[in-house]
Amino acid sequence: MIRIRFHFLAMLMLGLVVSGCQPQQRPVRPAPVVVPLCVPPTGIGLEKAIARTRTDLASYECQKKLDAYFQRLLEIAEGDPNLENKRLFSEFLLWCNSEGILTKVQSRNYYNRYFNDTFMSLPDEYNVCSSCPKRADIVRDMEVELRQKEQGLMRACGDRNTYYSAQEQYDTILIVLEATCLACERGR
């Protein structure tokens, strides 16, 4: 009986010693989910800012702030205006399209509003007289777009020639719109 107790105690001690030598297993915790802050970049070169913006826009939450990111990129480009910035913005907008953040039409519209002399805010209607009742809205939208072109072409890219071409088109469109609407009113 003592022998059985001794064996039992020896086995119990051996079990405790063996289990005490094994590393304790810690519960497995999932890696924390990192949520980007969705704060547009500041004070760095345009290429680095675009790279950081791409990283942030990989998050759906940040994609909702695309306009704020785009505006900040324009402001950063204003710190070093050059024609190369047009290419960088074009590539960024193509990337936004390829990632599904913008449609092809939206990407094109962004680019044209800021970096092309063509006005996107003009209606695509065939009946010219139908634009006359909306003339004030059209002029207001074109003024906004001309300011966007000034920011993109002049201040971000230093492209005076294309901006002056856009400004000439703006002036011409206003004259044609006014003359057209006068003719439409007289034709009634």
Q: What pLDDT, on a 0 to 100 scale, did the predictor assign at position 94?
A: 98
In a domain, 25, yes or no: no
Residue type, 32: P
Q: What pLDDT, on a 0 to 100 scale, did the predictor assign at position 80?
A: 95
The pLDDT confidence band at residue 7, using thresholds 50, 70 and 90, is low
Tens digit of pLDDT for each residue in 64-117? 999 999 999 999 999 999 999 999 999 999 999 999 999 999 999 999 999 999
In a domain, 35, yes or no: no
CA angle, residues 96, 110, 41, in degrees to nearest 5: 60
**Residue at token pair 């209606």:** 123
Q: Which of 139, 124, 121 is nearest to 176 (CA)?
A: 139
Is 4 a residue whose pLDDT tops 60?
Answer: no
Count of structural domains within the chain: 1
Q: What is the DSSP letter of 183?
A: H
In a domain, 19, yes or no: no
Structure tokens at 89: 């913005």
Q: What pLDDT, on a 0 to 100 scale, did the predictor assign at position 2?
A: 52
In a domain, 174, yes or no: yes
Average pLDDT over residues 156-182: 96
| pTM of this structure | 0.77
In a domain, 139, yes or no: yes
Residues 6+ away with beta carbon under 8 Å from 92: 50, 53, 54, 73
Quote the domain boundaries for residue 169.
Answer: 46-186
